[in-house]
Amino acid sequence: MTAPLFGYLGDRYNRIYIMAGGLSVWLVTATASSFVTESYFWLLALLRGLVGIGEASYSTIAPTIIGDLFTGVQRTIMISAFYIFIPVGSGLGYISGSSIASLTGDWHWSLRITPIFGLAGLIALVLLCPNPPRGAAENNGHEVQERSSYLEDVKYLLNNKSYVWSTLGVTAMAFLTGALAFWMPTFLFRARVSQGLSQPCSKAPCSSTDSYIFGAVTVVSGIVGVCLGTGLSRCLKDKVPNADPLICAGGMLGSVPCLFISIFVAAVNIPATYVFTFTAEVLLSLNWSLLADILLYVVVPTRRATAEALQITFCHLLGDAGSPYLIGTISDAISRSKQSSIDWSFPSLQYSFLLCPFVGILGGMFFLMAALYINNDRKAALQMPEGDPPQQGPATHYSVELNNAQNTPNS
């Protein structure tokens, strides 16, 4: 909920200070949450919620700095390097959290390792990260002088069709990744129990094996997917002007059969489930860097932080914030509707997971819609913003990109 605030500030003030402030709040709340006792659960929930301030400040602003430092293929590569650590960090969270909790016998310690890395990141941010002028990469090093009100920024974004459709697409993607991240280890453990390979938690300690394996799958699939998506974009962008949203659509739609198969094959073969889950996550990870790149080249420089903020807010509210709860609610409803003595803990979760492939199809359709408008929106964003242009010097890369875009036929 604080992302729109950071988006507004990020388009107008020093971005390094804003990110450093948000990350400082994240460090304090993340560390403090690990010391909350059982009788103060409400405080734990509050502190874990406030951790989101760090993401709201950093995720909305950091990509805009990359956008102001690089253009073209360089920007795609740098954005890929940045976004590749989303799945890597998520996967390492499963591994490190399970390992530390097992070693110490106390889950509180699993929350104390990430602030250590966060502190190192904060120091590096303050000491090493540049704060380039907004639009410098496209405007020959000069800052774009255009200024507008927040209401004007929002109206501009709502009229940007490729931004709206790609935001709906990333919301569907967040729905899938949120559901998988929250429920997949539990789903796999219940599958083992249903096959007689593990004992229920009431009879024996829950195994952390599935958290380790799923974490490794998430790390490797994230690296492979982001690199593959970037490579496809570089190969196709010159031949297919709207290649990026088409690749995103292909990733979403391609993940659907893999998810569908993994849901049902889990009842009989756990290794095969990991194979299809890995493939689905690779296809979903094609989109990470491309989505950020799309936003940067269809939105003018002075409104990019606001665009990032609204996209993050929307995809969390309607995506990964609600999908785990919705999957769990459907699973509980199925279990309650069955009066037989058979344990429905695994089948009910299995059937509720079927919502994910349908959302994947919907997300693919959203990206196909974005592909219809992206060329025109990109040309509009390349128009020289209002303000003082460079007075002297050779033609800028900004104008070269504009000429290339004007000579590119619509798909």
What is the identity of the amino acid at 17?
A: Y
84, two tokens: 């590749």
Which pLDDT score, from 0 to 100, does residue 214 have?
78
pLDDT of 247 over the 90 cut: yes
- Is the pLDDT reported for residue 92 higher than 70? yes
User: What is the reported pLDDT for 387?
Assistant: 42
Pair 87, 225: CB distance under 8 Å: yes
- In the DSSP assignment, the letter for residue 389 is -
Q: Could you give the CA distance from residue 189 to residue 206 in angstroms, rounded to a whole number?
A: 8
pLDDT, residue 330, reads 92
Per-domain boundaries in the chain: 3-136+149-384+393-406
Look at residue 51 and tell me whether its pLDDT is greater than 50.
yes
Residue 111's pLDDT is 85
DSSP state, residue 410: P
Cβ atoms of 393 and 140 closer than 8 Å: yes
- Tell me the pTM: 0.77
Where residue 160 falls among pLDDT bands split at 50, 70, 90?
very high
First to last CA, the chain: 37
Nearest to 161 by CA among 393, 377, 392: 377
Residue 176 has pLDDT above 80, yes or no: yes
Residue percentage of the chain with pLDDT more than 70 = 86
Calculate mean pLDDT across residues 261-269: 89
Residue 409 reports pLDDT greater than 60: no
Among 25-39, 86-100, 206-220, which stretch is predicted with the lowest mean pLDDT? 206-220
**Measuring CA to CA, which residue among 89, 76, 85 is closest to residue 229?**
76
Superfamily of domain 3-136+149-384+393-406: MFS general substrate transporter like domains (1.20.1250.20)
- For 347-353, the CB contacts below 8 A with 24+ separation are 347/194, 349/183, 349/186, 349/187, 349/190, 350/187, 350/263, 350/264, 350/266, 350/267, 352/327, 352/328, 353/179, 353/183, 353/187, 353/259, 353/263, 353/327
